[in-house]
């Protein structure tokens, strides 16, 4: 019915290319237009102005000879003021864009190592976008954005990369564990040294207190009991100490002490041995 009355409707975000006897005549914007076909006017075709996306998968290799598949996503659209160029100059827009993407990626990625290619995805996308913008603007198309959405190496390469990463992490973990054990051993040794130092101080003070107590006992007993000698007092103190020790050993149910002769006749021998040992030690010191 529209053709009968020479009327033609152009949808929103679309333009129509009008020809007159096969020659470009005008670009029709969205709306209703009169196309008098009886005078040689006709619609050659439509051109969408909507944003379009083309995903391109390109196989190439990196500088370290690793083959990868690079997936680029190109977003583009036709310009309304250059609709005639976009309609007439290119017969296959998507194939043309794909060819330029292949050319740029295969010229850029081989200059990069595999790790650098992952890190410089934005630089690769920028190079593709600049080349496409320069080439496609002459044909009435605008490159809105170009993205490198994926860089996929061979499965064996990915497995090797994962193994390298895992080995590096295990090496770091082993180093940290060894360092932690080293710190624990150092702290443990410092604690033991401090403990032994304090224990030695305690033993020294204990022995000093025993010596002071014995000296005071001998002097006090000699003053309060006339006629006694220091030897008599020492014998009595040693016998007292002996019986106190025996009492403590007998009171313990889990004692591991070694018993020596402790009959009444042996007490004097024990006292003599202890006294002689003390005198010999004193003489050796002098």
Distance, CA of 134 to CA of 130 (rounded, Å): 6
Prediction pTM value: 0.53
286 residues of the chain, pLDDT tens digit each: 445 567 888 888 888 988 888 888 888 888 888 888 878 888 888 888 899 999 999 999 888 888 889 999 999 999 988 888 888 888 888 898 999 899 999 989 999 888 888 888 899 999 999 889 988 888 889 999 999 998 888 777 777 777 777 788 788 888 888 888 888 888 888 888 888 888 888 877 877 777 677 677 667 666 666 666 666 666 766 777 777 777 777 676 566 655 555 555 565 666 666 666 556 655 555 5
- Per-residue pLDDT at 202: 82
Domain ranges of the chain: 9-48, 52-153
- What class does CATH assign to 52-153? alpha beta
- Per-residue pLDDT at 2: 47
- Residue partners of 269: CB distance under 8 A and separation at least 6: 261
Terminal Cα-to-Cα distance of the chain (whole angstroms): 138
- Per-residue pLDDT at 159: 78
């Amino acid at each position: 019915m529209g053709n009968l009355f020479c009327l033609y409707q152009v949808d929103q975000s679309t333009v129509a290319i009008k020809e007159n006897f096969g020659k470009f005549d005008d670009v029709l914007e969205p709306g209703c237009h009169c196309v008098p076909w009886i005078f040689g006017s006709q619609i050659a075709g439509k051109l969408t102005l909507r944003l379009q996306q083309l995903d391109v998968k390109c196989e190439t290799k990196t500088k370290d000879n690793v083959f990868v598949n690079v997936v680029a996503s190109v977003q583009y659209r036709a310009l309304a003021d250059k609709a005639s160029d976009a309609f007439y100059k290119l017969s296959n827009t998507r194939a043309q864009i794909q060819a330029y993407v292949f050319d740029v990626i295969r010229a850029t990625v081989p200059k990069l190592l595999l790790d650098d290619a992952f890190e410089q995805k934005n630089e690769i996308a920028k190079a593709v976008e600049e080349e496409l913008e320069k080439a496609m603007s002459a044909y009435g198309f605008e490159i809105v954005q170009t993205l490198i959405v994926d860089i996929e190496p061979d499965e064996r390469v990915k497995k090797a990369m994962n193994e390298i990463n895992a080995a590096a992490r295990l090496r770091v973990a082993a180093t940290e564990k060894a360092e932690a054990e080293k710190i624990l051993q150092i702290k443990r040794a410092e604690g033991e040294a401090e403990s032994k130092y304090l224990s030695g101080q305690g033993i020294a003070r204990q022995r000093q207190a025993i010596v002071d107590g014995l000296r005071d006992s001998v002097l006090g007993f000699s003053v309060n009991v006339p006629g006694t000698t220091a030897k008599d007092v020492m014998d009595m103190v040693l016998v007292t100490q002996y019986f106190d020790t025996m009492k403590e050993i007998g009171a313990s149910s889990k004692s591991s002490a070694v018993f020596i002769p402790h009959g009444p006749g042996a007490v004097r021998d024990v006292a003599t041995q202890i006294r002689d040992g003390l005198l010999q030690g004193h003489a050796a010191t002098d």
